[in-house]
Structure 1
């Protein structure tokens, strides 16, 4: 399952990247994030691994992020491995003529279990909706300083 989302964040690209590239800020725009733990490599650099734990409704979900490409301020890509599914995220950043930042996110979800295969077939909009929510929450955080950490 593949999709692409775009959003305009009304901050200069330099400010966008400073907020986006700081793991301490993740709690402010990734709903349900409980904790992060650096596992290996130089944090945020190519090959680095980080464990992310989320509360999704009544269950906890653990992801392992691996940075697969980093060419900031224009590109940041990673894979996210969880039980039954792998996500490949490619993020592209462009400066708009108004001096804002256009964030283009390309997502691919690869189901690794029967249950996840069913979810990607029967509920593809749920994945897209969650991705868009994170992007909108980042926009609110970057533009207005609004945090979802207590939401």
Structure 2
């Protein structure tokens, strides 16, 4: 399953990219996020691994490519699913940035997750849209 989400943020590309790298952005935009634990590799660079800890679950993040302020590509693994996320940042003008996220679920494990993905694939996109809206609010309030 693959889908794209995008949003326009009324901040320059450098500000949006800096917000994207800030751990407090995840606390603001993703409900239940607690903290990031760096596990291996050079922090923030390709090949580095981190554990993203939420109140109800953990994710393993592996950065595939970090070309901020222009793009960020990573893999996220959970016991029930794996996905990749490619974020592209494009300066619309000096004060506005378009953020596009391309999400691809590469592995779904377990009957319930597979069933939800098959019957209600729009739920996955709606969740990402909600996170992007909250991220936009975070950026624009800075």
Q: TM-score, normalised by structure 2?
A: 0.92
SS in structure 1 at match of 2:25: helix
1: CA distance, partners of 2:116 / 2:97: 32
What runs of 5+ residues in structure 1 fail to find an aligned partner?
146-151
SS in structure 1 at match of 2:85: strand
Match of 1:144 in 2: 141
Match of 1:119 in 2: 116
SS in structure 1 at match of 2:8: strand
Match of 1:71 in 2: 67
The answer to whether residue 52 in structure 2 is matched with residue 61 in structure 1 is no
What runs of 5+ residues in structure 2 fail to find an aligned partner?
none
Q: What are the within-5 Å matches in structure 2 for residues 29-68 of structure 1?
A: 29-55=29-55, 60-68=56-64
Match of 1:108 among 100, 104, 108: 104
CA RMSD of superposed structures (Å): 1.4
Match of 2:95 among 93, 99, 102: 99
Q: TM-score, normalised by structure 1?
A: 0.87
1: CA distance, partners of 2:58 / 2:20: 21
Shift of 1:115: 2.7
Work out the number of aligned pairs and report it. 141
